[in-house]
Structure 1
Amino acid sequence: MVMALEITGFLLGTASWLVTGTALANDYWKVSSFFGSVIISNRQYENLWHSCAEDSSGIAECRDFESLLALPRFMLACRALMIISLLLGLFSMVISILGLKCIKIGSVREDTKSKIAVTGGILFILASLCSMTAISWYAARVVQDFNNPLYGGIKFELGAGLYMGWAGTGLSIIGGSLLCCSCNQWSKGQSKGAYYPPSQAQKIHKPVSELETARAYV
């Protein structure tokens, strides 16, 4: 049971890291809306790195954001949070591998491996919080500009990249939680066995030793 939880949590965490990386590279974080627009032959879309325009023939031209200082502060924060999330996810996978009970590395004790697996699970959850903050913040700004009647620029809607990011966040939370729960399951399994402290063990065996001594004198 414990091994199944660990393997499932590790696989979900690995899948979340891949999905989050794919979401970061996806071009469609926000897509221009046709709501209230007369021209529907052109479409624009953006992500954290560049802005693209696509005509009716399907030909797209992209332009990278050239100046970091010219970008809004929230976009810089979203970039940093997404990169931190991927780095934490990478560390989580490495640590989780070391903590899996199905992998034997040296003479590491079982309780130590459980603690290592829990550490990997906590890092998965921290990575998910970073990516969730970035994606939700970006989505909130898109919705705010869309609903602002005084906004004079192009109005955008939520793109597929944001939904992929939310999916990766959910997988990371579930995977990290399973890795943390595996330690509790292992502790419960250990508590089922009988354990006697050294003092109690001596008291239990003491009458037997006295009886054997009396028989020896007889």
Structure 2
Amino acid sequence: MSGLQIVAFLSGLAGLGASLAATVSNEWRATSRASSVITATWVLQGLWNNCAGNAIGALHCRPHHTILQLAGYIQVCRGLMIAAVCLGFFGSIFALIGMKCTKIGGSDQNKAKIACLAGVCFILSGLSSLSTCSLYAHRITSEFFDPMYMAQKYELGAALFIGWAGSVLCILGGIMFCVSIAGSFSKSHSQRSYFYKSTVSHMTPLPKGPKPAPPYSSSSRNQHFDRNEYV
């Protein structure tokens, strides 16, 4: 199962990198070329910056200077992506400790528990990233297909697809980690049952029935006769 754990670690690490790249990216949504009058310029928006570019390659970005005036869904997406990156980071640390090919972590049973914790962290990281990208994409599509929405319409940016790919990799890595430790727990359970059976088989059974009476010693016989002599 060590090979499966290596694949799971690489998958989770790649998912963490994709989630981090999507978090810092400025291309969560881009202006729609179909509704734009000037096709030589476009606007990109991310969780942290608003950028404007043109056909000659110039790109100017302006960060969000305020937090209280931001839309609620952007603040939620920020928090979820930060949580996804943190969970993926801790999952990678736990995975290095809990993998069978490493020399740290203690016994095999302790390493299996740590590997299971790493798998849970990767799964939660993937779910956080997946929910963030889906929420942001739902907002873009609802505005794009709303005929009453008169403001600038946007399309899905590249960061959303990177985030979706990273979330899938994190979830797959977490599932593989959880599957890889199943053999360790079953092996330890079989060893405990074998030890119990061997201990029971080597125990000598106690004799059943009433205990035999103690032998009648000569000293007690002499005491009995001595008492009768005085009668």
Task: Give TM class, smaller chain.
Answer: 0.7 to 0.9
Equivalent residue number for residue 182 of structure 1: 180
Aligned length: 205
Equivalent residue number for residue 25 of structure 2: 26
After TM superposition, the structure 1 = structure 2 runs for residues 110-149 of structure 1, keeping only pairs within 5 Å, are 110-149=108-147
Equivalent residue number for residue 173 of structure 1: 171
Q: What RMSD in Å do the two structures reach over aligned CA positions? A: 2.0
Equivalent residue number for residue 63 of structure 1: 62
Query: Aligned equivalents of 1:166 and 1:199: distance in 2?
Result: 51
Distance 1:48 1:198, change over 3 A: closer
Q: Amino acid of the residue matched to residue 113 of structure 1?
A: K
5+ residue gaps, structure 2, are 206-231
Equivalent residue number for residue 84 of structure 2: 85
Equivalent residue number for residue 94 of structure 1: 93
Shift of residue 57, structure 1, vs aligned partner: 2.0
Q: Amino acid of the residue matched to residue 45 of structure 1?
A: L
Which has the higher Rg, Structure 1 or Structure 2? 2
Query: Aligned equivalents of 1:89 and 1:37: distance in 2?
Result: 38
Shift of residue 27, structure 1, vs aligned partner: 1.7
Q: Amino acid of the residue matched to residue 5 of structure 1?
A: L
Greater Cα offset, 38-47 or 167-176? 38-47
Distance 1:33 1:3, change over 3 A: same
Corresponding residue to 1:161 among 141, 144, 159:
159
Equivalent residue number for residue 10 of structure 1: 9
Q: Amino acid of the residue matched to residue 86 of structure 2?
A: L
- SS where residue 149 of structure 2 aligns? coil
Query: Aligned equivalents of 2:130 and 2:148: distance in 1?
Result: 28
1:152-205 per-position Cα deviation (integer Å, ceiling 9, x unaligned): 111100011100000000000000000000111333455666943546534357
Q: Larger relative CO (CA 8 A, sep 6+): 1 or 2? A: 1
Q: Amino acid of the residue matched to residue 144 of structure 1?
A: S
Query: Aligned equivalents of 1:184 and 1:57: distance in 2?
Result: 56
Query: Aligned equivalents of 1:189 and 1:32: distance in 2?
Result: 57
1:7-64 per-position Cα deviation (integer Å, ceiling 9, x unaligned): 1111111111111111112221111012244321211111101111112322121111
Query: Aligned equivalents of 2:42 and 2:204: distance in 1?
Result: 87
Q: Amino acid of the residue matched to residue 12 of structure 1?
A: S
Distance 1:22 1:53, change over 3 A: same
Distance 1:58 1:199, change over 3 A: closer
Shift of residue 139, structure 1, vs aligned partner: 0.7
Matched, 1:196 2:186: no
Q: Amino acid of the residue matched to residue 119 of structure 2?
A: G
Distance 1:177 1:198, change over 3 A: closer
Identity in percent: 34
Query: Aligned equivalents of 1:67 and 1:190: distance in 2?
Result: 55
Matched, 1:51 2:57: no
Greater Cα offset, 7-16 or 185-194? 185-194
- SS where residue 109 of structure 2 aligns? helix
Distance 1:53 1:179, change over 3 A: same
